[in-house]
Amino acid sequence: MLMSHRFLTAHFAVSPQIQVEDLPALKEQGFTAIISVRPDDEEKDQPGVAALGVAAEKSGLAFAYIPVRMGTTPDAHSVTVMRQTLAEMIGPDNTGKILAYCRSGRRASDLFELASAQSEEPAHKNQRFDVVVVGGGAGGLACAASLLRRRPELLVAVIEPLPSIIISRAGRWSVVGYSRQRIRAAQKWGLSRRVRAGSVRP
């Protein structure tokens, strides 16, 4: 029996556990790929990933396996693999149509949302700067700010491996690294403004 599915975007849907016999119908509905987010042996009568993968290929469907254990949050590796898999399966011309499944569809939905939220920004090619400051902590930002106060015509870049940093309202110091504990501590002490890593302008 084909389980109901729910679309999160025009190209991506989630569903509870599917069966081998569901695959031809999914192909007829326009799906081009299947992603299994459910590890084997969670339930006694659960179909194995290997059997589903073979049957998917026979039905002309691409198949990927990105297991996330029940009751856990997808880890960084799973999110990265999911992001890459989505890009490949949807394709540069946006013609792919993916169904991801787990026991209820919840883990598949969570993994998709995390992979979509952490999409990498394209790098600017052939961009030149007058000064490059390495490190987006208090010292690095103070250095960049001082340069721009004295030489406002300079184009200054700050290189920071983290996607964002938290600085005080007064701009006097920063917290580099933003675990939930650090963010809560920063908010407690009035550190609420975020600065994106990248070019620094006055």
Give per-residue pLDDT as tens, 58-104. 999 999 999 999 999 899 899 999 999 999 999 989 999 999 999 99
Dihedral angle computed from the Cα positions of residues 70, 21, 96 and 91, in that order, rounded to the nearest 10 degrees: 70
Q: Which of the two residues, 52 and 2, has the higher pLDDT score? A: 52
Number of neighbouring beta carbons within 10 Å of residue 14: 24
pLDDT tier, 153 (very low <50, low <70, confident <90, very high otherwise)? confident
Instruction: Report percent pLDDT > 70 for the chain.
Output: 71
What pLDDT, on a 0 to 100 scale, did the predictor assign at position 136?
67
pTM assigned to the model: 0.60
pLDDT value at position 135? 76
The residue to which tokens 């993916």 are assigned: 98
Please tell me the distance from the alpha carbon of residue 83 to that of residue 78, in angstroms, as a whole number.
9
Q: What is the DSSP letter of 154?
A: -
Q: What is the mean pLDDT of residues 133-151?
A: 77
Distances (CA, A) of 135 to 129, 141, 158, 181, 185: 16, 8, 7, 22, 22
Determine the Cα–Cα distance for residues 31 and 193; give it in Å rounded to an integer: 43
Class of domain 6-117: alpha beta
Within the chain, all domains assigned CATH 3.90.190.10 are found at: 6-117
